[in-house]
Amino acid sequence: MRDVAIIGVGMIPWGELWEKPLRTIWAEAAVAALEDAGVDTVDLITVGCMSPGLFVGQEHLASMVADQIGMAGVPAARVESACASGGLALRNGFAEVASGLADLVLVTGVEKMTDVDGADATFALGTAADQEYEGFHGITFPGLYAMMARVHMARHGTTVRQMAAVAAKNHANGLLNPNAQYHLKVTVDDVLASTMVADPLHLLDCSPITDGAAALVLAPVDRARDLAGGRPVVKITGSGMATDSIALADREDLGRLRAVQLAAERAYAMAGRKPSDIHVAEVHDCFSIAEIMVTEELGFFPPGEGGPAAENGLTALGGRIPVNPSGGLKSKGHPVGATGVAQVAEIVTQLRGEAGQRQVQGASIGLAQNMGGSGGSSIVHILEVAS
């Protein structure tokens, strides 16, 4: 298996992009990644996208997007794993290069979520839960994560202020990211004063509806060195994936995210790393409780210590393990199919030392964790600066 590097990253400003169709925002991110890599053609394109048919009425994205950048004829495929679709797109692209089936792969993620009203967006997102046993009875994702939060609070003493600290920290980071959807200073008290959505989750504990796209270009490490132009070469050293029961009622423990734990174990084993080796992480904070639970499953903190860690600044910039320096889903936004690709783009930017005011000093090993639904699937990648 060949070593694989990420030689190009592409991001666009995320938000409510009503004036641009899906194909345009995808193409803008894709072209930015190709320009960053210094290449103008690829052997394969992968597209992470959760629900284009429900959000914009468009399926068959592979054909459409390849043609949009003048690459009709290039093999392309859309992949889906709910909100982990972007992470899956990267894993598939990684496998293509590692196996030798392709030398240059354009990995992309996209979602256009604001072309429908709130009710339709809620329905589309709800398809990532168990439709027959959860959706049919009216539960939505804030409700599912609220139940997980209540279990975590009862077991470990996690508090609403600790959850609010996650949101406040990520908004502070988002202020430093020009591509973030929200450049808004948020305090813990602001979070607690916002509208209750599903007790104990307030509005500002929840990630937003977003339009956006992100892209990466992958190549074998040997070729990456030739194209690096003096910049650090960032390679993927670990990739782990796992699933869990889609419905919360079928899980052994509502206070755990088993798929995250398993995916992390597999990524660490592949990379020959352990949690204490990680310098910076992007994790799936679709709700503030999710970041707390994920940091525990990744092994950054023992069970029950994720909340106090956030409250005490251990996950802030300058903390022991900076988490979501991009602003995370909470501030950067959450166009569900694009999120996993954008997380990795941020880690590459950090490891190159190009993150500006949000730069984690000395970062040479990073981790990105992407999650589908309420934890029914998860993908973890570990990236390192090549020696």
> What is the arithmetic mean of pLDDT over 85-91?
98
Tell me which of 156, 202, 279, 334 is the catalytic residue. 334
Average pLDDT over residues 210-239: 96
> What pLDDT shows up at residue 47?
98
- The pLDDT of residue 228 is 86
pLDDT digits (tens, 9 = 90+) for 201-213: 999 999 999 999 9
Using 50, 70 and 90 to split pLDDT, how confident is the model at 387?
confident
Mean per-residue pLDDT, 355-359: 98
Which uninterrupted H or E stretch holds 366? strand 365-372
Query: Which of these ranges, 54-58, 132-136, 160-164, has the smallest mean pLDDT?
Result: 132-136
**Axis crossing angle, helix 141-156 with helix 288-297, rounded to the nearest 10:** 60
> Which pLDDT score is estimated for 205?
98
- CATH class, domain 4-117+209-227, is alpha beta
Mean pLDDT taken over the chain: 97
Contacts of 361 (CB under 8 A, 6+ apart): none
Domain topology for 134-205+237-385: Peroxisomal Thiolase; Chain A, domain 1 (3.40.47)
| Long-range contact set of residues 152-158: C-beta below 8 Å, sequence gap at least 24 | 152/255, 152/289, 152/292, 152/293, 152/304, 152/307, 153/200, 155/255, 155/304, 156/255, 156/303, 156/304, 156/307, 157/304, 157/307, 158/289, 158/292, 158/304, 158/306, 158/307
Q: How confident is the model at residue 278 (pLDDT cuts 50, 70, 90)?
A: very high
Q: Of 264, 296, 318, which Cα lies nearest the Cα of 158?
A: 296
Give CA–CA dist 41/45, Å, rounded: 10
Three-class SS state of 371: strand
Report the SS3 class of residue 29: helix
Q: CB-hemisphere CA count at 13 Å for 250? A: 13
Q: What ranges do the domains of the chain cover?
A: 4-117+209-227, 134-205+237-385
Indicate the pLDDT class of residue 229, thresholds 50, 70 and 90. confident
Which of the four pLDDT bands, split at 50, 70 and 90, describes residue 57? very high
Which entry of 83, 152, 171, 279 is annotated as an active-site residue? 83
334 labelled catalytic: yes
Is 284 one of the annotated active-site residues of the chain? no
Which of 382, 342, 376, 384 minimizes the C-alpha distance to 86?
342
Q: Give percent of the chain above pLDDT 70.
A: 100
Q: Say if 4-117+209-227 and 134-205+237-385 have the same CATH topology.
A: yes
